[in-house]
Every structure is written in structure tokens, then in C-alpha cells.
Structure 1
């Protein structure tokens, strides 16, 4: 049997409520494209892996004995199948008919971008804008610290990582493509070395995009690849997600900024959380920031160095 064109890698963690819908949508979304689906389960406490094994026997299932994190699990899944393309897809997505075929077709017609993404929608059909973002900068971090990105949400000047009010309805080069729907050709994937496993979850896709751009590649979005995304359904609770996202931002700053700029960026992140926590204490709103400040030891210095574990 020849190798499939596409390896679709899904990382699951307590995803039993979504994984069946996600996998059932794939044949129509591929519209004839040859793909092998790989599910890497990060030691779910629910029946996620059992659902995959029972209802989708053609899927390659890797059961991790512990939660290895998103980046490490994706890398393991990509290694499991030889293919021309690697597609990262969240388990809390339902790809629309023809969407994944459109994405691969677009990438084949437009080589040189390296990373390709699509348009994500909420379950009610409205735009869910997090399929892509601008790369973090000292300016965007200062806007966060000073509350400008909140006061002027969606502003291309004061909230630049949001990419303004663009509806993701045109082809456009972007700073980063989000890992919920990210296509990369195998040669580029291997050249980049996959995801950086220092990132447990959150930030690894931004890091990948930044490294791709340094190689002269130009991550891009096509609106013809649409998936419904149940945001956060495959992640920890909102407060846990915040802590992980902040750790990812600290790690990114220290990886991609020069030393002085990195120290300033990390200081601005800490200041932004501290000011929001103080505001939450005074107003009673945004209590998650108080948790973020109280639990700051969990993100203050970014993700810790992690030992390598074999999947199994």
C-alpha cells in the first residue's frame, strides 16, 4: 500500500464528547483525498481512547501512559505515519464537507508558504477568529500590560495580535497559524523539527510559525477551509488554560526575543496580569486574573525543562 497523502494528527485529553463527531466528519471533509488519521491520547480519564478504538478501527491510536503535552504528542503522531503532508486538527472540531480537500489543494497550488490554515467558526456559524494571529512583539505585550488590547479590542494598532477586524474571509499571510487547524508539508515539518516540546500546551504553534518565518516561509490562511471549533472543549478549564497560555508567552518571549527585550516582555506580561488581578479585586469582575496572579508560580518563568518520555 502506498503512503497516504496526508497524516491527520489529533491529540486527545478527555475528549470523549467530541472525538466521535470530529472523526465522522473527516471523510466528507477530505472529499476523496487519501489520509491516515492518528489519534494520540494523553492518558484521558474518560472513554476517549475506547471510543476511537471501538468506533474507528482504521484510525491509528497511540495511548500515552501519561499526559505528555500537546507538542510531544503531535510529534509522536507525525512520526507514526509517512505522508506528504501533516495536518494538526483539534478533536473539538467538525470539518465542513470539502474543507480539508480545499486546504490541501490550496497548499499544492501555492507552495512556499510552509504553514497553511483555514477559517474557524463557532457552533452557531459565527466567526471564531483564533485560527490565526499576529506574532507577539514588545508593542503587543505593552498593549496587554497597559490594558490597551482590552480597551481597544480588535484594534489593528492596540490589539495587533488579533489582526484587527478581519473576518478571515480572504486569503492572507499571517504571523502565525493556530494548531487547531494547521497544514504543513512533510519536508518543512522535518526541516523545522516538528513542534518544540518545551511547550507543554499553548504557544507551540506560534513558535513553529515564528521559526518558519525565519526560514523565509510565509504562513497563510485560506477561507475555503472551514471547520467548526468548540473552543476550549479539548483544553483544561478557563483558569488552567490561562496559566498555560501565560507560561507559553513567557517561554516564547525568552526564546524569540533578544535578552534585554525578552526581560522587558516578561516583565510586561507580569505587570499586565498583576494590574488585571488588582482590578478584579476592586470590581469583582475578571476573577480569573486573581487566580492567575495567585498561581503565578505556575507560569512566572515559563514552561520548565521537561524530561523526554516515550509514548506507550
Structure 2
């Protein structure tokens, strides 16, 4: 088996069905399997997947176990040389799998790779190629300096806005919406850290993969479409909480030992301020 495609579903029945349709419509010479994990959806997702795609390996959880744990369930039964984490709100192109696997097969130094992610309006999903959220990178991003100086590498350490999205290059981290990982890299660094519930696990994984000596690579030779929730919608408290909790977990795990007590205190205070601000802004949305 060449490729194991893992798709997590949680009350996104139609999006997942559309994603699966694009997956099975792919033109590829590689052998692949599709594993869908449902996190106890309440929209009859499981029944629809069983009816429309009976060949898909389906895991139906009895509770919402989060992104990391659910994807790890899929990885434990996956048989592929490569593991692909694929969001349910994505549409792959017919050549996506062939293009990405050919790239990985010809670049054995690459532990994980991702392609270009395009939003429905045609713009780039900036999360598809990022730097690690160091204290300085996070500061420049949070306080808008990256937008003020979009072509300055110092102020754009996180979103890498100074690099062309049409070129390919090694980067720090990819996004879990499309993350193709070599089996050997997983065997070396382990699976996703289940302390992260639904954010930050992709950055943590990329950090560990790079620390182990592998390259993380943004490859612009193909693209997928990524449908994201509208930013104007009010988000559940759980989503806002887990997003900021992931910031805290990542810094505590990877950066706290490297920085002074003062720097760490400022980082944690900044996360708290941002969390509070996000809650206020969210309440103002409809």
C-alpha cells in the first residue's frame, strides 16, 4: 500500500462526502486506502458514508475524542508507506496524489510535505506554509508588524509572506488540512500528541519531525481547495479556548526551557490577552 488517506469527520457530512468524491475521482497509479474517523456526529454521517462509500474503512467513535486522538486511531491501522492527513473541508485535484507521492519518492530527505491550499475566493490559505511560532514571530504577527512590512523576513517569520506561493522550498511547518508524512518519520518521532485537542498538533508534529533531522517541505506543484468556516460567524467557546490552549501547550513543551522566566511570562500573558480579546470580538459577531 502506497498511501493511507485519513479524514476526520465531525458533523460535516456533506463536506466529507464531497471530499471523498474528489478523492475517489483521483487519477493515480499509486495504491491507496481511505480511512474515515467519525467523532460521534449527530447528522447521520456514518450512515451516509456506509451507503455511498462502503469500501472506505470507517471508524465510528462514541464520543468526540478530538483531532489528534482520532487521527492517531487511523494511523494505527494504516498500511501505507505514506500517511496523509486530509481535512473533510477540502477538495483534491485529480493529480494531487500522483504529484505529491512522486515528489516524496524522489526526495527521501523530506519527512513531511504539503501542497498549495487555495481558499474558495482563489487566495492562498496562508497556514499551508509557516514558520514556527517563536516568541518573536508570534509578537510580530500578533501586533500586525507582519502586515505592515509584508516583504520583510524578520517580521514575517510566521506566515512567510515574503516567499512566493508559486515556488517550492523547505519550511518549518505545514497544516493538518493536508499533511503528507513518510512512514519512517512517524516511526521515528511518534504520532500526534494527544494533549492537543484540535489545534497546534500539526505544528508540534512538524517541530518534532524537523528536530529529528527530516525536512518539512512546501511543494507548489499541485493544489487543493480548502473550504473554511466564514470568519464572520460566531465560534463556540470550545474552539476559541482550544486554539489559545494550543499556543500555551506548544510554548510550554518546546520553548519554555529555552527562554527566561520574564520572556515566558510575557508569552503567557500575551496568550491570555489574546484569548480575552477573541472572546469579546466573538460575542460581537452574529
Q: Secondary structure at the match of 1:249?
A: helix
1:198 to 188, 195, 205: 195
1:54: how far off?
1.1
Corresponding residue number in structure 1 for 2:254: 256
Q: Which moved more, 1:190-199 or 1:159-168?
A: 159-168
2:140 and 2:146 in contact (8 A); partners too:
yes
Q: Distance in 1 between matches of 2:89 and 2:12?
A: 7
Q: Could you tell me how far apart the structure 1 residues matched to 2:201 and 2:273 are?
A: 25
Please list every run of 5 or more consecutive structure 2 residues that lacks an aligned counterpart in the other structure: none
Q: 1:266 to 1:5 in 2, by over 3 A?
A: farther
8 Å contact from structure 2 (residues 132, 203) kept in 1:
yes
Among 276, 280, 286, which residue is 1:290 paired with? 280
What's the counterpart of residue 10 of structure 2? 13
Q: CA deviation at 1:21?
A: 0.8
Aligned in 2, Cα 1:262/1:192: closer, same or farther, shift over 3 Å? farther
Residues of 2 paired with 1:197 and 1:232: CA distance?
Answer: 24
* Runs of 5+ consecutive residues of structure 1 not aligned to the other structure: 278-286, 294-312
State the alpha-carbon separation in 1 of the partners of residues 218 and 154 from structure 2: 21
Alignment check: 8 A CA contact 2:256 2:264 kept: no
Aligned-pair CA distance for 1:149: 4.1
- 1:296 match: none
- Separation of aligned partners in 2, 1:262 and 1:182: 33
Distance 2:5 2:260 in 1: 35
1:151 & 1:288 partners in 2: Cα distance? 21
Query: What's the offset of the Cα at 1:228?
Result: 0.3
Aligned ranges 1:230-249 → 2 under 5 Å: 230-232=227-229, 237=235, 240-249=238-247
- For residues 133-152 of structure 1, the C-alpha deviation after alignment (integer angstroms, 9 at most, x for no partner) is 10111211332454534655
**Matched positions, count:** 279
CA distance in 1, matches of 2:281, 2:241: 9
Kept in 2: contact 1:175–1:209 (CA 8 A): yes
